[in-house]
């Protein structure tokens, strides 16, 4: 229990770090004479809805990217940083709730979160320096991966999983490698819930135990990677604040007010939107490359 409390304390500390960095960036911009717009009702609604259904297992990265692309709210190159920084505190809220209520081996959970954070720190540094075309192609491919996992889940193809709350030594070693990779991919917008659920189930763990590990990993990666994106100025301030301000109430509403919801039809709708966003991103990235070649 002590280790869990330490983990929760570290999670709160990382959240405060992101909040401080965000505040400093806002003041720095203000000193340059630039004003920041307040989030619009649409920004707040996007934050509420995406985090509401993220808490229920649909995921928020792919859906947020799709909405940003559909309504042209955020430039493509700023979408990863905006999603990471904006969803960080709502995901922290999820993690605090799930880590406190779902049993899983605390030592293994802590180790898995640590390697995920290490991967996320490296991944955020890479993504923050990518060109617009690279971000478009990367996110387009990421959405295709997310869509594939969504299809597998909706078709009932995820492994059923075992009943264990801890990995065997060999399985734990493999889980560490997988969680490092998933952490590195998070800054690019690839959600880690579905891959985590698949891998942990294959390795014999109770699928419910994936929730605290996944959300703890996602929360730490999002806050730490968010610090890098905010520091680099690679995020859309208004949209990110809308995700945060609308997202936290969305998480609370999902956890406390909704215990079960018929989501099958909604999952297929989300899949269609994600596929659309993936196609438009990949097309934009390829067209950008074609323009460069023709001009060169």
pLDDT tens digits, one per residue of 220-251 = 888 988 998 898 888 999 999 999 999 999 99
**The whole model's pTM is what?**
0.76
- 220/222 Cα distance (integer angstroms): 5
pLDDT tens digits, one per residue of 43-69 = 999 999 999 988 876 778 878 988 998
CB 150 within 8 A of CB 267: yes
Residue 263 pLDDT more than 60?
no
Q: Which pLDDT score, from 0 to 100, does residue 293 have?
A: 46
More confident residue, 182 or 247: 247
Q: Which pLDDT score, from 0 to 100, does residue 288 have?
A: 66
Out of 73-77, 139-143, 259-263, the most confident range is 73-77
Quickly tell me which residue has 């619009």 as its tokens. 40
More confident residue, 50 or 162: 50
pLDDT tens digits, one per residue of 80-130 = 899 999 999 999 998 888 887 777 888 999 999 999 988 888 887 776 676
State the chain's mean pLDDT as an integer: 82
pLDDT tens digits, one per residue of 123-134 = 877 766 767 677
User: Quick one: CA torsion of 16, 22, 24, 26, rounded to 10 degrees?
Assistant: -150
Residue 7 pLDDT more than 70?
yes
- Candidates 10, 49, 24; CA nearest to 219 is 10
Two tokens, residue 12: 């709160």
Q: Which pLDDT score, from 0 to 100, does residue 145 have?
A: 78
């Amino acid at each position: 229990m002590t280790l869990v409390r330490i983990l929760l304390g570290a999670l709160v500390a990382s959240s405060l770090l992101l909040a401080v960095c965000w505040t400093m960036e806002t003041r720095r911009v203000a000193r340059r004479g630039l004003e920041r717009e307040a989030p619009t009702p649409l920004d707040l609604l996007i934050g509420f809805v995406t985090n509401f259904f993220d808490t229920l297992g649909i995921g928020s990265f792919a859906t947020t990217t799709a909405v940003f692309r559909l309504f042209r709210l955020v430039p493509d190159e700023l979408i990863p940083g905006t999603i990471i920084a904006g969803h960080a505190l709502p995901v922290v809220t999820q993690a605090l709730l799930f880590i406190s209520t779902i049993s899983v081996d605390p030592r293994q959970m802590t180790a898995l979160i640590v390697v995920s954070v290490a991967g996320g720190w490296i991944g955020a540094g890479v993504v923050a320096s990518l060109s617009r075309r690279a971000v478009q192609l990367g996110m387009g491919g990421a959405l295709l991966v997310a869509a594939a996992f969504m299809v597998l889940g909706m078709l009932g193809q995820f492994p059923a999983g075992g009943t264990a709350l801890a990995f065997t030594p060999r399985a734990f070693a493999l889980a560490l490698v997988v969680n490092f990779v998933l952490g590195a991919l998070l800054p690019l917008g690839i959600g880690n819930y579905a891959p985590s659920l698949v891998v942990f189930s294959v390795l014999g763990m109770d699928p419910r135990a994936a929730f605290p590990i996944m959300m703890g990993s996602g929360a730490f990666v999002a806050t730490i990677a968010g610090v890098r994106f905010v520091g680099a100025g690679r995020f859309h301030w208004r949209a990110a604040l809308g995700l945060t301000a609308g997202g936290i109430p969305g998480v609370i509403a999902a956890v406390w007010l909704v215990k079960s919801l018929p989501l099958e039809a909604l999952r297929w709708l989300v899949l269609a939107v994600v596929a659309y966003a993936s196609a438009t991103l990949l097309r934009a990235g390829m067209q950008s490359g074609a323009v460069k070649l023709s001009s060169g």
